[in-house]
Structure 1
Amino acid sequence: MDLSRYSSIQSQVDNIKENMFSGVDPYLFISPSAYDTAWLAMIPDPHQPSQPMFENCLDWVLNNQKEEGFWGECDAHGMPTIECLTATLACIVALKKWNVGIIFINKGIAFVRADTEKLIREMNNHCPHWFAIVFPSMVELAHTVGVHLVFLDGLSTVASELFIKQQQILEKEKLADKYTNPPLLSYLEALPASYDIDQDDIIKHLSNDGSLFQSPSATARAFMVTGNKKCLAYLISLVQRCDNGVPPTYPLDEELIKLCMVNQLLRLGLAEYFVQEIEEVLAQVYRNYKNQESWEKPSNSVAEQLFKDSLAFWLLRMHGYDVSSDSFCWFLHHEDIRDQIQINHEYFSNAMLNVYRATDLTFSGESDLQDARSFSKKLLEKTTSIGTRNQTHIEHELRLPWLARLDHLEHRRWIEDHDANVLWMGKASSHRLSCPHNSELVGLAMHNFLFRQSIYKYELEKLKRWSKDMGLSDMGFGREKTTYCYFAVAASSTLPYDSEIRMIVAKSAIVITVADDFFDMEGSLIELKGLTDAVQRWDAKGLRGHSKIIFDALDNLVSELASKYLQKEGRDITKSLQDIWYETFDSWLTESKWIKTGYVPSMNEYLETGMISIATHTVVLPASCFLKPSLPNSKIKPVHYENITKLLMVIARLLNDIQSYQKEKDEGKMNFVLLYLKDNPEADIEEAIACTREILDKKKKDLLQHVLIDGYSDLPKPCKNLHLSCMKVFQMFFNSANRYDSNTEMLEDIKKGIYIPLEVGTSKPLKPLSLYSGEKKTYQTVKYEINQPSKNFKGRSFGVARVSLPALRYHGHGKTFMLPKVRLSFA
């Protein structure tokens, strides 16, 4: 282990814990909305109409323009999004209204002129509902304050289409139609002057807190139109709570923010460093879940509530809490809510994606979860068919089942994702993790991923040497799967398994692969019986050639495990290990006899032997003896296996058989799918596969319940999680093809998991940034730490730089913050 790199990671973890989990205001985790902050900056002081009422909002606009000239949150690679177009126009209007920041206005106009066409065309002919409403109105509003936007030739058609679509929406939708989400009135600030709205209509739809649908921008406009005191009280409360830019929605559900933070830690592969913090959040959420009464969900927050409830269900169930599917399937029992979701499927796409993810954790008999999965899948497919911003996320979820994904690769995908900091969609912009906090988390995740890669490369080379020394990699027949075996165990889970566990599992899998191939394709019946008898006696006398190599490798492995266990626990498990391996060899011998004698077993007889010959228990149970807490010795003895282990054995066998039936038919071997056809001659292959999948689906749901819910298995939690990891490995290998037998199918995944560096955006160098034309810059000395080499900091790991304070404000807030390439802190 690279102790210096691990120490650096631990230092980052400690810093994040101090800055993010020590009673910090949850609102600091959400990035301010430039669009909404600009609208508050436009409000004149009733007592001094020539001055802004909320000067700190105007200051925020002045201090937070990006170097490229736009306002708003960019994606995780630092690139502007279409949300930045509307935010930039709103900020330009606010500055123009008070005649300040002429340099910023000009830079903003230059950005809009240069990038509008590109950003709009990147939508691939799919214009979000909110953008069609807001963008044309922001263009018109800019014109009213004297900002004339001359777009590039060729954009006029695109822009005119947006104005036409806006008009169609305004003609079609009612102000507060309960089926339109969010309602049209929540876009009050973006409704054109020609759209006549009575002040009484506005006041009638104010919430009890004085807001218009909890939208700061809409409420700002409502106050400017009506002067309503409740609106004013809401706005003052908002600015007092969020004095550094306001969020897209207020008030925010603070519990939802915390759930999103936990989700972010898990998705980035950082959960192992924040076990206590995650548990504290989930324990509080569970207490609230147990104490809450059933209530009618308010129609104007259905999307957010459904997003939260489904996310909470997934997180709680994944962490062993017994939560009912009713906690988020309530929407199925309200026809008006289902209609609302179907009509506004684009707006509900994030919520439906969370619903779909939650149904990954379905147990047997939970029909409402099946219904929720079907409903959400249909809506997500409809959404992707017309295009959506989170299309890649949705397509990934629909294409590849959760059980077929390896955690290590999922973490890489999340780290590299352009929108990894997007939490949920608001009215006109996404709720995002604040730049400083998300950058710190992503920086830590990058360090952690690269650290894991370095360990994996070292261990794999060590494993290859062992395999070669034992003679297993040069047998001259069968499959050489040393790399596959190691990659599968290393990438399948984020649990803090040490090197010992990974090597035990990988070595066991290698021996199993070689021995299984020897029984299938190389050894004569006499040789196979001789090897099996030798394993029963645990004596290599009389063995030679391939049989001797396999036995010696097995003896080396078992002796190593028994010796380590005796040293750690003071007990000898040699006999238990030998027995479980003999049981496996004996099942291979039985299957070989069937093939060579032409015997056709019954389906039950085949499965009783086949669940042993797949050898998942031979890998998982011995390795579990080295977990903390460890597996009791009695649990690895044949006929004493727990139900969870038996479920894993059957699942792995059926997964293999579904993808291997044609190959095994050609080789004259037995297979569950083929035996079904024999017993049901009227059935075709599709029916046989469907029947096998039905059995398999129920077994997987049962295993999930045994793993996730306390009380269904006596095994320690780490052991249950290792069972789940093993099931995921087999699902990955046999999800849509037999990837394990392929020499090429796994290569790209292996490269990404172990060898290829992360592909993330490069930060631009820090440059001084003036707040006002001619303003004298104030400099601050800062320390920096380079996470990866870049063209701006070649060959230096640490150093000191001088940057202007405005530049610091532009890049983040607080004493310490992380950019994708450079970590800065006040010296």
Structure 2
Amino acid sequence: MAISTAAWSAPIWMTSTTPNAGQVPRNFSSGLRPSLTLGARLSDLLLSRSTCRNKTLGDNVGAVHTTNDSASRVPKWRNYAHRIHSSATEVKELETTDNKLSANSSTARPNDTHMQAWIEEIRGLLRSMFEKGETSDSPYDTAWVSLIPAVDGSQGPQFPNTLKWIARNQLEDGSWGDVDFFSIQNNVLCTLMCIIALKSWNTGLDSVEKGLRFLRKSMALLEDETHEKLVGFELVFPSILDHAKNLDLDLPYNLPVIDKLRAAREEKLRKIPLHLIYTTPTSVTYSLEGIRDVVDWEQISQQQQQTDGSFGCSPAATACAYLHTGNESCFRYLTSIPQLCDGAGTSAAESDVRGPVHATSLTLTTRPWPFAYFVCMVMISSLRIGIEWIISLQDVVYVHVLEVADVEMTWQVGSALSNPWYEHLPRLEHRSYLDQYGPQHVWISKVLYRMHSFTNSVFLKLAKADFNLCQSKHQEELQVLLRWNEERGFNSIRTREKQMVYCFYVAVCILPAPEQSMARTVWAKLAMLNVLIDDFFDSPSESYTDKVQFLEAFRSRNPNLMDGTGGEAKLFFESIYNTITEIAAEGSLFQGRDISHHVYNIWLRLVENQFKEAEWKHLNYEPSLEEYMSVSEVGISFEAMTPTQFFMGEKISPAMVDSPHTKRLMHLANVVARLSNDIRTYQREESENKPNWVSISKRNGLTESEIIEEARKVMDEHMKQLVKETYSPSKSHPLLPRSARQLYFDTVRAIRFAYRTGDALAPHMLDTKQSIDSILFEPVLL
């Protein structure tokens, strides 16, 4: 018998904060229209393609192909703009290419029937998971549970089938572990625990000897620093090795690597405030068997036991606790496992290691979900299980202690270092996971394990199809925006189409869902207007008089005041003014009230502050740092993007807009955005005689490196406050809806992402071009 997937128990955030299975979860939207869950809108879109794509271009781009010839599949952004207007020719070319690909493809294009079948299969998988849990069998946990003696006083184990399972599942090399993925730490740990179990009951001695031979030749390999590292290995392994020594198992106990692990364990125990584990949920509880020699069992049993009787939802930790305490709740938890799963020990409810954690006790990763990341969220929502806990996992902050093995480590490390959570774009991460992960991957925690309900080919197919379906919708929107860009005359005035493509690309990265179409389009238009206004007031070819008239015309909302301006200034003003007027009118329809004054006031502040900077330059005035920040905070343009909040599907009252909390959000975001710009562009701006945080601070005798270091400290502190105000705000003032606060935060992340290596609008950069291609033009391949 083996303890397997049934050791999974419903996490706290499901049992205590979410609706019952039959209840409809609280919807995000309480305003104009419900914000569809992704699962609901997938079904909706499948029934009505016209909602998301047309019958020609959409069918082609939404397909999942198996060819590697990405260059011939769809037009890239570098040549897409000038071809987009001849859409009939474009569609014909795409259809011809797609027909050729389909003829050579061994995998049929997923159609509506395929998609619906995948959705239903995943729903079934997730229902099953929530009923009994599903992680792969764990030799390590099975071995721990096998140590429980019979409670009736007879000589033997309480769960004898666990020993049979252990003997039956030894690998050819004498070890225990994952059949298809070898990890030295995992195989050594599982093998050591399994031979302890067999030796303790004086059974399977041939298996014990084979396991000892494996350990004797393999333990020295633990010295290799390149292998996958299990969570808490340095806590657990030395403790279990002491157990083996007490059983007189013939092992090399004095290897240098063993001494290093013991030293690391002692160092970690010195850093762990043990009194906290008795009062605060931590991941140490999950590895309780590794500290069994220092823990106060009576105290921890009173304080930290889960409602199901387990410790950390771990069979190993719970079995260890029962062996030390005889706790009946522990026994009930362990007894429930074989009844559900035919005998193999699971690696436990890995997903429930949550709450405050001590940084020295585990390795944290902010990327717990592989390719199933957002489609998993979809299906869970559509099952009506509740969505608040999804947001907690998806956004921050305490995420589970997982890593995924069998993925190129350089990609994982490089991606994590170059894309910190506060300056990465979620859509880019989704695409990276789709390209990098597959159903063969295993998960790393205390031991290796697999989650077949999440990492499977059906999830992968549906995730890819969903990405491509959304991408086809985005391409249609881009066509409309490029036509708008041309009709407004922006192409001929002062910019090129690729800047419109770039603005829309960022909008897609922070607002990717089809139901966010209007918000996404508005965000992209506002971003484009920002670029144009910034260029106008920066441009030496525009006269100072024209800039004065522009400001007066905007203040009075009277385009006629632009009469007599030189060049194309009047046409430029009318194009911007008309676009803002249209956005205000559409937003009023969405909100069911007049919001035009909000929109105009926001953009008037931007124009006034842009003019103030132009005036400083015209007068050769050198502002103080305080003057500069009071003006340039608004001039950085973050605030000008906020009218997008009126298109997010929720009502926003005047009290919310004018709330002190909203003003604080705005201030924090403006400072971060301004400094992100200034530490990257100060050299160019100095050459243009423009004030900048860095250049102004130099007057105080500081070096550039000192100024930039100080700016980064200010940014980091403001980002921490912005995170708090976004996710855990005080309720002493009216609050914007969660979706609007998230929009603010994601817009700041987008700005930080854009300024990571240079100027924000730098579509000439190779990595930017590749990112745009992957998000807007290249379907994901199977």
Q: Confirm or deny a common fold (TM above 0.5).
A: yes
In the alignment, is the contact (CA less than 8 A) between 2:500 and 2:524 conserved in 1?
A: yes
1:655-684: CA deviations, max 9, x gaps?
A: 212222221111101113322333x2x333
Is 1:625 the equivalent of 2:643? no
Aligned mates of 1:258, 1:686 — CA distance in 2? 38
Shift of 1:697: 3.9
Shift of 1:490: 1.6
The verdict on how the C-alpha distance between 1:601 and 1:40 changes in structure 2, with shifts beyond 3 A counting, is: closer
Aligned mates of 2:750, 2:737 — CA distance in 1? 20
Is 1:456 the equivalent of 2:474? yes
> Which residues of 2 match residues 654-733 of structure 1 at below 5 A?
654-678=675-699, 680=700, 682-708=701-727, 709-711=729-731, 712-733=733-754
Shift of 1:491: 1.2
Aligned to 2:672: 651
Q: Which runs of 5+ in 2 are unaligned?
A: 1-44, 50-110, 273-283, 357-364
Aligned to 2:621: 599
Per the alignment, in what secondary structure is the counterpart of residue 435 of structure 1? coil
In the alignment, is the contact (CA less than 8 A) between 1:57 and 1:244 conserved in 2?
A: no
In the alignment, is the contact (CA less than 8 A) between 1:479 and 1:517 conserved in 2?
A: no
Aligned mates of 2:409, 2:178 — CA distance in 1? 16
Q: In structure 1, what residue type is equivalent to 2:524?
A: A
Is 1:243 the equivalent of 2:341? yes
> Which residues of 2 match residues 171-190 of structure 1 at below 5 A?
none
Q: In structure 1, what residue type is equivalent to 2:474?
A: Y
Q: In structure 1, what residue type is equivalent to 2:138?
A: S
1:550 is aligned, of 561, 569, 572, to 572
Aligned mates of 1:42, 1:734 — CA distance in 2? 57
The verdict on how the C-alpha distance between 1:10 and 1:669 changes in structure 2, with shifts beyond 3 A counting, is: farther
> Which residues of 2 match residues 496-511 of structure 1 at below 5 A?
498-511=516-529
Q: In structure 2, what residue type is equivalent to 1:723?
A: Y
The verdict on how the C-alpha distance between 1:13 and 1:513 changes in structure 2, with shifts beyond 3 A counting, is: same
Per the alignment, in what secondary structure is the counterpart of residue 586 of structure 2? helix
Shift of 1:204: 13
Is 1:526 the equivalent of 2:526? no
1:737-778: CA deviations, max 9, x gaps?
A: 4343462052333344344555xxxxxxxxxxxxxxxxxxxx
Shift of 1:391: 9.1
Aligned mates of 1:125, 1:569 — CA distance in 2? 52
> Which residues of 2 match residues 606-621 of structure 1 at below 5 A?
606-621=628-643
In the alignment, is the contact (CA less than 8 A) between 2:145 and 2:162 conserved in 1?
A: yes
In the alignment, is the contact (CA less than 8 A) between 1:43 and 1:54 conserved in 2?
A: yes
Aligned mates of 2:415, 2:616 — CA distance in 1? 42
1:389-408: CA deviations, max 9, x gaps?
A: 99976775565432111112
Q: In structure 1, what residue type is equivalent to 2:523?
A: V
Aligned to 1:584: 606
Shift of 1:503: 0.7
1:269 is aligned, of 371, 374, 378, to 374
The verdict on how the C-alpha distance between 1:125 and 1:656 changes in structure 2, with shifts beyond 3 A counting, is: closer
The verdict on how the C-alpha distance between 1:677 and 1:230 changes in structure 2, with shifts beyond 3 A counting, is: closer
Shift of 1:519: 2.1
Aligned to 2:425: 406
Aligned to 1:82: 184
The verdict on how the C-alpha distance between 1:591 and 1:750 changes in structure 2, with shifts beyond 3 A counting, is: same
Aligned mates of 1:317, 1:624 — CA distance in 2? 19
Per the alignment, in what secondary structure is the counterpart of residue 759 of structure 2? coil
Q: In structure 1, what residue type is equivalent to 2:559?
A: W
The verdict on how the C-alpha distance between 1:52 and 1:275 changes in structure 2, with shifts beyond 3 A counting, is: closer
2:532 is aligned, of 504, 507, 514, to 514
Shift of 1:236: 6.8
In the alignment, is the contact (CA less than 8 A) between 1:41 and 1:55 conserved in 2?
A: yes
In the alignment, is the contact (CA less than 8 A) between 1:41 and 1:58 conserved in 2?
A: yes
In the alignment, is the contact (CA less than 8 A) between 2:123 and 2:379 conserved in 1?
A: no
> Which residues of 2 match residues 461-500 of structure 1 at below 5 A?
461-475=479-493, 480-492=498-510, 498-500=516-518
2:226 is aligned, of 123, 131, 134, to 123
The verdict on how the C-alpha distance between 1:651 and 1:34 changes in structure 2, with shifts beyond 3 A counting, is: same
Per the alignment, in what secondary structure is the counterpart of residue 341 of structure 2? coil
Q: In structure 1, what residue type is equivalent to 2:683?
A: Q
Aligned mates of 1:614, 1:263 — CA distance in 2? 34
Q: In structure 2, what residue type is equivalent to 1:24?
A: F
Aligned mates of 2:590, 2:260 — CA distance in 1? 73
Per the alignment, in what secondary structure is the counterpart of residue 625 of structure 1? helix
Aligned mates of 1:412, 1:43 — CA distance in 2? 46
Aligned mates of 2:253, 2:193 — CA distance in 1? 24
1:318-343: CA deviations, max 9, x gaps?
A: 69xxxxxxxx9xxxxxxxxxxxxxxx
1:54-85: CA deviations, max 9, x gaps?
A: 565467569979999996447xxx74433563
The verdict on how the C-alpha distance between 1:461 and 1:70 changes in structure 2, with shifts beyond 3 A counting, is: farther
The verdict on how the C-alpha distance between 1:567 and 1:234 changes in structure 2, with shifts beyond 3 A counting, is: closer
The verdict on how the C-alpha distance between 1:171 and 1:242 changes in structure 2, with shifts beyond 3 A counting, is: farther
Aligned mates of 2:605, 2:476 — CA distance in 1? 33
Shift of 1:647: 3.4
Aligned to 1:165: 257
Aligned mates of 2:535, 2:706 — CA distance in 1? 30
Q: In structure 1, what residue type is equivalent to 2:342?
A: N
Aligned mates of 1:597, 1:164 — CA distance in 2? 72
Aligned mates of 2:548, 2:161 — CA distance in 1? 84
Per the alignment, in what secondary structure is the counterpart of residue 647 of structure 2? coil
Is 1:436 the equivalent of 2:453? yes
Shift of 1:534: 4.1
Aligned mates of 2:187, 2:640 — CA distance in 1? 58
Shift of 1:448: 3.6
RMSD across aligned positions (CA): 6.3
Q: TM-score when scaled to structure 2?
A: 0.61
Is 1:31 the equivalent of 2:53? no
In the alignment, is the contact (CA less than 8 A) between 1:733 and 1:740 conserved in 2?
A: yes
Aligned mates of 1:25, 1:101 — CA distance in 2? 38
The verdict on how the C-alpha distance between 1:244 and 1:715 changes in structure 2, with shifts beyond 3 A counting, is: same
The verdict on how the C-alpha distance between 1:478 and 1:113 changes in structure 2, with shifts beyond 3 A counting, is: farther
The verdict on how the C-alpha distance between 1:22 and 1:38 changes in structure 2, with shifts beyond 3 A counting, is: closer
Q: In structure 1, what residue type is equivalent to 2:187?
A: L
Aligned mates of 1:425, 1:533 — CA distance in 2? 63
Aligned mates of 1:738, 1:15 — CA distance in 2? 46
Aligned length: 630
The verdict on how the C-alpha distance between 1:206 and 1:242 changes in structure 2, with shifts beyond 3 A counting, is: farther
Aligned to 1:816: none
The verdict on how the C-alpha distance between 1:413 and 1:242 changes in structure 2, with shifts beyond 3 A counting, is: farther
Shift of 1:529: 3.2
In the alignment, is the contact (CA less than 8 A) between 2:315 and 2:334 conserved in 1?
A: no
Q: In structure 2, what residue type is equivalent to 1:269?
A: F
Aligned mates of 2:224, 2:253 — CA distance in 1? 12
1:613-643: CA deviations, max 9, x gaps?
A: 222222212x222222233468779999733
Shift of 1:572: 4.9
Q: TM-score when scaled to structure 1?
A: 0.58
Per the alignment, in what secondary structure is the counterpart of residue 761 of structure 2? coil
